[in-house]
A and B are shown apart, each in its own frame.
Chain A
Amino acid sequence: MNIALVGNQNCGKTTLFNQLTGSKQHIGNFPGVTVEQKSGYLLGNKDVTVVDLPGIYSLTPYSIEEIVTRDYIFNRKPDCIINIIDATNLERNLYLTIQLLEMEIPFVMALNMMDEVRLNGTSIDVKKLSEELGVPVVPISASKNEGVSELAEVALGRAKVKNSAYHDLCDGAVHKAVHSLAHLLEENAEKCGFPPKYTAIKVIENDKSIIDKLKLDERQLDIIGHIVEDMEIACDTDREAAIVDMRYDYIEALCAKVVLKKGQNVNQEKSMKLDRILTHKIWAIPIFLCVMLAVFFMSFSLVGKWLSDLLTLGIDWLTGVVDGALTSAGISEWLHSLLIDGVFNGVGSVLSFVPTIMVLFFLLSILEDSGYMARVAFVMDKLLRKIGLSGKSFVPMLIGFGCSVPGILAARTVSSERDRKMTVLLVPFMSCSAKLPIYSLITMAFFPRYQALVMLGVYVLSMVVGVLYGLLLKVTVFKGNPVPFVMELPNYRWPSLKTLLRNSWEKGKSFIRKAFTVIFVATLVIWFLQSVDTSFNFTSDSSVSILAEIGRFLSPVFAPLGLGDWRLTTSIITGLTAKEAVVSTLAVLFGVASESLSAVLSTAFSPLQGFCFLAFVVLYMPCVAAVAAVRKELGSGWKAVLAMFSQTVVAYLVTLIIYNVGTLFV
């Protein structure tokens, strides 16, 4: 048996989902799209699956999230639907409820945030609401776990009901049109498995996806045209607005009946007071920067770093133990190197990143669940509009400066699929913190007096190229209308600890899974190429390895960029495992310790070459961990490969220009 949760964004749907299900949940995508689908077992009842559908405001066929939800309801036919609504914001939340009623499917309404309603001094006649709508209504407070078990019981009982009767919402001209059309389209609707009155409403609304399925003939289309036209004249508005009007008119009348006493919305007033500071004309941006700085500091240097260092110590200890055991057991040199240099080193360096990612997501979930992220989108929207994105993409891109992986994963908070994919493609252009050792090495070697300035220049370069790339995407791959930025500013609320912990654990888990699959294989491949010479003999001299040969083979390709030295080329390749590897590879290949590397580099190359190396490294494709994240978010392997290839081509072209323009002046 399965129960589906349907509701607006910010109505406490995820909190309810977490209360209903146990600790085990499955997070995946809906088939064919990258819209997240969460499911879990009902607490104490393994036979019942609970599915969390996307947070939506309406069931029009205009956004992927809405289509997915509608298809799920019609095709998968959940045994019961729980429609969760925010009782402090009845009017707008009921709009989706009305659309569920139109679909003539049985559901249960969970009237959430009843604790706040009481606090406000508002009084809602739950019994009357249930009678008027003809569905069971259970008052709950998901965050306080009040009424949740009762809700589950009612939902299980409701699952036995297969059909609900049509609920007449409209009167006047719309009513007349719905009835005539329902009669006219009865047979077509039946063939598609749609209820006739629902079909009529959708036809009036001009819902193309439903109209196409109905396979109407000329005569029917003609009659529809007449009926709709008559209705439009009688209502003095167009067909789409007429239906929306009808729904809201019904809701207004309903609210007048069931809301016995309307108190002050205390939480909304508090939120608006907070916003006097948080979205203040002058203070909003500085406050936002401080918040992000704190998040970065906590995850990349304080708590996250501390935990990561601790984990590194553990991994190093384990590596030492295994290393010693292998040596004393007299295991062959190549197997020893495979395990220690390949497996432990590769996977270990990625795993040590897990705490940072978990802390980062814990903090980001606080920002998201408290309602602050919506304010960030509000404040920053204007900046991103030019490249066809909205303010919602700002935070993921900002996180990209710390690490691309969480930045890409954070794109999940962007609610439209188009914007999310575009954000995923742009995040790798933000220069991640793992590239810092490369910057400090190169600037120290070539620009000792202007280190900070050159570093700033590199950041600016990456952002400018990112913006240009965004503009290019906007007119090519993501052509067409951007998704409208019409966003609710929810009231501030305390996030639930359970949800926060779950969220950060989920992100950590998915990263660990990746570390042992994609990243594991990639590090092994690089290890193999680095440790074996062209006649496949094991070698500890990396300058004769296959990788070095590949570097030599590819170096002519990089020669036009001033990067024709095979050692530079090789380090660019090893940078694919992790950007930190660039510096260590250079040190190994130049045969010097990392401390004296900058001196060696400064004699071997010109400052222009040094800058070109920086430019290429900041722009080219990210490490395998980030590629794995991109692949997951784009939902397709070859699209991820294409994205990485394009980014590398962009890096190549930009560096080519810099080198050639540079040689004119130097």
Chain B
Amino acid sequence: MTLNELKIGQSCKITKVNGEGALRKRLLDMGLTPKTKVTLHKTAPMGDPIELLLRGYNLTIRKEEAARIEAEVIE
């Protein structure tokens, strides 16, 4: 699955970050690296972007970008 498919409150472990160039590098730099645990905290009132919890801080990205990040749900 990809990050945009997470349900609110659900956690996952990143397996792969797709995409290229500046955007991908930005996602990696902000700590969205493979093996990282990420929780979907909420979605914006208009349904997009989303707010993630990772590495002890809150990060917001658009669903379009979240769709490039592959992950496994942690039960």
B28 in contact with A240 (CB, 8 Å):
yes
B17 in contact with A241 (CB, 8 Å):
yes
A381 in contact with B44 (CB, 8 Å):
yes
The reply on B13 being an interface residue by CB < 8 A is no
The one of A237, A374, A486 that contacts B30, using a Cβ cutoff of 8 Å: A486
The reply on A524 being an interface residue by CB < 8 A is no
The reply on A379 being an interface residue by CB < 8 A is yes
The reply on B65 being an interface residue by CB < 8 A is yes
The reply on A91 being an interface residue by CB < 8 A is yes
Of the candidate stretches A36-44, A56-64, A151-159, the one touching chain B is A56-64
Shortest CB-to-CB span from A544 to chain B, Å, is 57
B34 in contact with A237 (CB, 8 Å):
yes
A279 in contact with B44 (CB, 8 Å):
yes
Given contacts A89-B56, A487-B60, A488-B57, contact A60 B29 (CB under 8 A): yes
Shortest CB-to-CB span from B59 to chain A, Å, is 6
B26 in contact with A241 (CB, 8 Å):
no
Q: Which residues of B contact A554 (CB under 8 A)?
A: none
Shortest CB-to-CB span from B1 to chain A, Å, is 19
A378 in contact with B44 (CB, 8 Å):
yes
B51 in contact with A378 (CB, 8 Å):
yes
A484 in contact with B33 (CB, 8 Å):
no
In the assembly, what is the distance between CA of A57 and CA of B30, in Å?
7
In the assembly, what is the distance between CA of A282 and CA of B45, in Å?
7
- Residues B29-75 near A (CB distance < 8 A): 29-31, 33-34, 36, 41-42, 44-49, 51, 55-62, 65
Q: Which residues of A contact B33 (CB under 8 A)?
A: 241, 244-245, 248
Given contacts A240-B28, A241-B28, A241-B33, contact A268 B58 (CB under 8 A): yes
Majority secondary structure, B binding face = mixed
A62 in contact with B45 (CB, 8 Å):
no
In the assembly, what is the distance between CA of A385 and CA of B48, in Å?
10
Q: Which residues of A contact B22 (CB under 8 A)?
A: 60, 62-63, 481, 483-484
In the assembly, what is the distance between CA of A25 and CA of B61, in Å?
35
Contact with B along A485-517 (1 / 0, CB 8 A): 111111000000000000000000000000000
Q: Which residues of B contact A245 (CB under 8 A)?
A: 33-34
Q: Which residues of B contact A484 (CB under 8 A)?
A: 22-23, 26-27, 61, 65
Contact-size category for A: 35 or more
Contact with B along A596-633 (1 / 0, CB 8 A): 00000000000000000000000000000000000000
B29 in contact with A272 (CB, 8 Å):
no
The one of A244, A279, A485 that contacts B45, using a Cβ cutoff of 8 Å: A279
In the assembly, what is the distance between CA of A374 and CA of B23, in Å?
19
- Residues A354-392 near B (CB distance < 8 A): 374, 378-379, 381-383, 385
A381 in contact with B28 (CB, 8 Å):
no
Shortest CB-to-CB span from A276 to chain B, Å, is 9
In the assembly, what is the distance between CA of A58 and CA of B28, in Å?
10
- Residues A195-227 near B (CB distance < 8 A): none
The reply on B7 being an interface residue by CB < 8 A is no
The reply on A285 being an interface residue by CB < 8 A is yes
In the assembly, what is the distance between CA of A612 and CA of B28, in Å?
52
A244 in contact with B28 (CB, 8 Å):
yes
Shortest CB-to-CB span from B64 to chain A, Å, is 9
Q: Which residues of A contact B (CB under 8 A)?
A: 57-58, 60, 62-63, 89-92, 95, 237, 240-241, 244-245, 248, 265, 268, 271-272, 275, 279-282, 284-285, 374, 378-379, 381-383, 385, 481, 483-490
Which 9 pairs from chain A and chain B are nearest by CB?
A58-B29, A62-B22, A489-B58, A382-B46, A244-B28, A484-B23, A91-B55, A284-B45, A486-B26
Q: Which residues of B contact A (CB under 8 A)?
A: 17, 21-31, 33-34, 36, 41-42, 44-49, 51, 55-62, 65
Q: A57-B29, A378-B49 are in contact. List 15 more A-B contacts (CB 8 A).
A: A57-B30, A63-B22, A91-B56, A237-B34, A272-B58, A280-B45, A281-B45, A282-B45, A378-B51, A382-B46, A382-B48, A484-B26, A489-B51, A489-B58, A489-B59
